[in-house]
Chains A and B, each alone.
Chain A
């Protein structure tokens, strides 16, 4: 199916562990984004990518690492998870050529114990 998919949808981990959240889109959109959603803060940008091999920091990048070796994949890694990284993470992409509409994945709920 065409779209943007995230995995895992739910993850429980412990402080200090490495976690990778996966994001895959089937449209070949140029721009991809990672947001975290916390109560009272809305959607905060962690990292974004304008194309394969081009990534840049957003508003809250500390503690996160991204890569984009292929246009369709944009994984987010928490190298050493902390409790403050407990959140819901959303991946999104933008068409770019035709419209600025953001397409979101269903989210990954991460709990760090």
Chain B
């Protein structure tokens, strides 16, 4: 099955700095790589995703890059703000209906991002 490794487990930055979280995956059948943000006391919410036919995707201050050959993908947050403080999860899985795979997401263990004002 799929195995997803996520690093670092904790990341502390100053407001305005950039933050990078990295994930590696093992199953070459995975073609969908979402990132979820979990604020305290809430369920995770999708913030950005990337599919295997794309190398990079941006949405304002956040971006995700994918290296299929090396089987790793990263989340980049620029100009961090205190409200970016949360736990971030990466995931990898085959996006079922189109690829014939199954929607069984495998998550990394999460990164606690702390942005100091």
Contact = CB atoms under 8 A, between A and B. Distances in A.
B89 A45 contact: no
Nearest to B98: A100
A32 B1 CA distance: 19
Contact-residue bracket for chain B? 20 to 34
Interface stretch (B12-20, B54-62, B71-79, B99-107): B99-107
Interface string A74-113: 0000000000000000101010110111101111000000
A70 B104 CA distance: 20
B96 A102 contact: no
B103 A94 contact: yes
Contact of B95 (A42, A90, A100, A107): A100
B25 interface: no
Contacts, number: 60
A106 B43 contact: yes
Contacts of B93: 100
A15 B103 CA distance: 34
B20 to A, nearest CB: 19
Interface in B65-113: 89, 91, 93, 95-97, 102-110
A100 B109 contact: no
A41 B109 CA distance: 6
Nearest to B112: A39
B12 to A, nearest CB: 17
A31 B43 CA distance: 17
Contacts of A43: 44, 89, 107, 110
Interface of B: 6, 32, 34, 36, 41-46, 49, 89, 91, 93, 95-97, 102-110
